[in-house]
Amino acid sequence: MLPSQSRSIKRTRTTLTSGRPLDIHRLLETLSPDDMRGLLQTICDQNPAIAREVVTKAPRPSLESTFGVLQKYENTFKEAFPFGNRPTSDYTYNRVRQPMAQLIEALKDYTPHFLPPNEHQTTVSLTYLDAVTDIVHRLPDWDTYQHNHAEHEAYDELSAAWTIVIQEAAKRGGGFTLQVGGWDQKLLKHNELSGGRLQGAVNELRINVGWLGAQGPSSMSSGNDERAAIRAQILSGTYGADLSVGSRW
């Protein structure tokens, strides 16, 4: 390099004396995931056309990514429980009502994504429903009956979702997938734990599968015993330690 060229390069570099905004790719590098989501949400809210573009081009949410989101909601809900109070009391309910509502709302919003015809793989649909039904089982039975309305409503929607998937599975293989995967027995167990609130889905299962296996005469009481055990875990501070969303997947 000639001396004159070297001096020219140095002079060019020293002329950058004023500030300027970062290029878009450098700016995006500095944003946290939360910052990025917030920015994208704001842009989509203000520009419906961009929102539609994002919906059509974004990768489909997977079971793993969705369970990760739901785990965060459930953890926030569990962390809201006050110490030293009965975990099913009105006081506790008022303390956890908002994060519980956010958890249930997230379940309602994600569920249609994993149902046919949007989801083509029956096993994926069943895996999702099995997991989120467990989440609803872990909600407390509040002392005031009216406070259980959101939970009961969630069970009703899950029963309808199970019914849709059962009908789709029956079309494809006469219910064979439901029996081979053990989904028939899993649904029966979920129905016990829900206090019979998934009976509509069980009835659909009987229509499409036929024989479901014998249920012992104490099946309902055993379900109630498990619900009582869950409440005891909440009281002892071990609520969700072995049955958190993350522990299943």
pLDDT tens per residue across span 108-140: 999 999 999 999 999 999 999 999 999 999 999
**Could you tell me the two tokens for 233?**
């875990």
- What integer pLDDT is reported at residue 228 of this predicted model? 54
- 11 part of a folded domain: no
Whole-model pTM over 0.85: no
- 185 part of a folded domain: yes
Q: Are 76 and 43 contained in the same domain?
A: no
Q: Are 52 and 89 contained in the same domain?
A: no
User: Which DSSP symbol is given to 186?
Assistant: H
> End of a domain among 58, 78, 101?
58
CB atoms closer than 10 angstroms to residue 142:
21
* Per-residue pLDDT reduced to its tens digit, 199-218: 999 999 988 776 554 443 34
Q: Are 51 and 91 contained in the same domain?
A: no
Structural domain that includes position 109: 63-248
Integer angstrom CA distances of residue 158 from 1, 66, 162, 184 = 74, 17, 6, 15
In the chain, the number of structural domains is 2
CB burial class (10 A; 0-12, 13-18, 19+) of residue 3?
Answer: exposed
Say whether pLDDT at 236 is over 60: no
